[in-house]
Chain A
């Protein structure tokens, strides 16, 4: 079977195509490479020659950013929030997805409608009231408050992805398990979760990336510096140190690096995770 492209373009001339490929690759990847190089230079160096490659490689800036500029706090806050939220989302979401996919009960369609309607709710509809609610329950400016909000906000997507997959697991497996005497929870634990691992992986990836980068909820619900997550921390730093380009760039690199590292090893999973739900 010919490569699909041959069936379409066949013998078309390649050089304009190649030029375009090169240009777009520079456009897509160039800015990041620029930031990477900036992160290793000091601000005076940058202003002198904005586009030179790093002369001496100032690795110490990373340590500096970590300790002096509070990046360590921001990083750990992000880690705590995101990891906890993703774990909760996965567990709680899987339980809902399993229940909706597996069991027939009177409220099944209603429950599904309620949860999935969360897919079209704009954040703006929620943040103002969430602001009030968190204030009232003393959860304002706390990581726990943010975690709870994140979990609630992303339940819809998680359930959407997981339910679609769980529903395709053949009923025979469950019937057999039931005959073997497994309890409902054991069925969930021993059958749905192991077999549904690919979808769970997808949901985890998607949630992780989205929450790691999340800005709107965080900026409304967290104001104290030692509670800030990484995106907020960078913005705050940007506000007060606008001209310290070098340090800002280093901070950006710290924020980017975890994602890039994961991407280098798991690019397929991450690509699939982020586009799940859009690809039919």
Chain B
């Protein structure tokens, strides 16, 4: 059992007034693959380094299997880490890079040989065992870094943006390898990245961080479908979710939302929430939920929006449309099929799937509700 629990974890760097990590509380279950996702500077790497013991903790606790390890030196925590820059020992060959940690822990020699050769075989490194890091390619070095963590057979794996130095093709294959590894070995893993594709494909749960705080935790698809606030809504998904201002109107006791020339009934959510809103809200709709032609003809949850096409971006497999909706200030992006005939400057009626729309409070940026929910 290796459950990692963070409780109120905080980090302040010397000489800085701000907290880099603000009271983070999170539990990673045994065998779970948890991804910490967020933009640069959100504190995710600091959290990882505090868990590893490479960074002193300012406040709060880190526990493994219920035992608080704040004061435990890094080398006693039974944690293996893969660094962004791989951090291989430049003066040792691949074999010794893999074996070094085991030797330092007095693992018997034949056991070391067994583990190292097994890991090397698993990662395709056997022909390179005698080479030094400077004679390896980036992908090979990355695998050595991974191998070094695997042979340790630790309680927890930590990954600090391990794929960010690889080219795109290599990133895809390595990503799949990592997923397979984790499924085979089943060790609790905490994985830091700023790449949402890695987060969406690799994690059992993702934890989105911004400015040192946890914003949302959950399985990737759940977070994607139900973002907790506008930050998450726009961070996940490419192109990001469209956000448009809608005005709140009362008309004979019935609340309505006005989006440009369109009026949306506001019956789907409780009136008290609306009351707290003041006069406006933000409507969020993902590009894939805006359609050139209605996907469910006759379903009146699909609302027509007159629009002018500002730009057309053919991507090959699909086309992105940049649209100006009548009466709406913000430009929106819609996904449509590659066979579209729309041209810049042309007029179109875009169908908005209100069942998939989100409503956000502009003051707190938090989500109010899904219209369709």
Partner-B contacts on A (CB < 8 A): 2, 6-7, 10-11
- In the complex, A6→B73 CA distance in Å? 12
B56: which A residues are within 8 A, CB to CB? 2, 6
Contact digits for B45-59, partner A, Cβ 8 Å, 1 yes 0 no: 000000000111000
Residue of B nearest to A7 (CB): B54
A11: which B residues are within 8 A, CB to CB? 73
Q: Is the CB of A10 within 8 A of B73?
A: yes
Give 7 pairs: A residue, B residue, CB < 8 Å, sorted on A. Answer: A2-B54, A2-B55, A2-B56, A6-B56, A7-B54, A10-B73, A11-B73
Nearest-Cβ distance from residue B85 to partner chain A, whole angstroms: 12
- Classify the interface of chain A: helix, strand, loop or mixed: loop
Nearest-Cβ distance from residue A2 to partner chain B, whole angstroms: 6
- In the complex, A2→B56 CA distance in Å? 8
- In the complex, A7→B55 CA distance in Å? 9
- In the complex, A251→B290 CA distance in Å? 89
**Which residues B217-247 have CB closer than 8 A to chain A?**
none
- In the complex, A7→B73 CA distance in Å? 11
- In the complex, A197→B54 CA distance in Å? 40
Residue of A nearest to B45 (CB): A1
- In the complex, A121→B73 CA distance in Å? 52
- In the complex, A7→B83 CA distance in Å? 15
- Classify the interface of chain B: helix, strand, loop or mixed: loop
Residue of B nearest to A6 (CB): B56
B73: which A residues are within 8 A, CB to CB? 10-11
Nearest-Cβ distance from residue A74 to partner chain B, whole angstroms: 48
Nearest-Cβ distance from residue B150 to partner chain A, whole angstroms: 24
- In the complex, A2→B14 CA distance in Å? 10
- In the complex, A164→B55 CA distance in Å? 38
B54: which A residues are within 8 A, CB to CB? 2, 7
Pairs A-B, 6 closest by C-beta atoms: A2-B55, A2-B54, A10-B73, A11-B73, A7-B54, A2-B56
- In the complex, A128→B373 CA distance in Å? 99
A6: which B residues are within 8 A, CB to CB? 56
Nearest-Cβ distance from residue B121 to partner chain A, whole angstroms: 33
Residue of A nearest to B54 (CB): A2
- In the complex, A10→B56 CA distance in Å? 10
A10: which B residues are within 8 A, CB to CB? 73
- In the complex, A6→B57 CA distance in Å? 13
Residue of A nearest to B13 (CB): A1
A7: which B residues are within 8 A, CB to CB? 54
Nearest-Cβ distance from residue A89 to partner chain B, whole angstroms: 38
B55: which A residues are within 8 A, CB to CB? 2
Contact digits for B35-74, partner A, Cβ 8 Å, 1 yes 0 no: 0000000000000000000111000000000000000010
- In the complex, A7→B53 CA distance in Å? 10
Contact digits for B67-91, partner A, Cβ 8 Å, 1 yes 0 no: 0000001000000000000000000
- In the complex, A11→B54 CA distance in Å? 12
**Which residues B131-161 have CB closer than 8 A to chain A?**
none
Nearest-Cβ distance from residue A7 to partner chain B, whole angstroms: 7
Residue of B nearest to A11 (CB): B73
A2: which B residues are within 8 A, CB to CB? 54-56
- In the complex, A2→B45 CA distance in Å? 12
Residue of B nearest to A3 (CB): B14
Nearest-Cβ distance from residue A1 to partner chain B, whole angstroms: 8
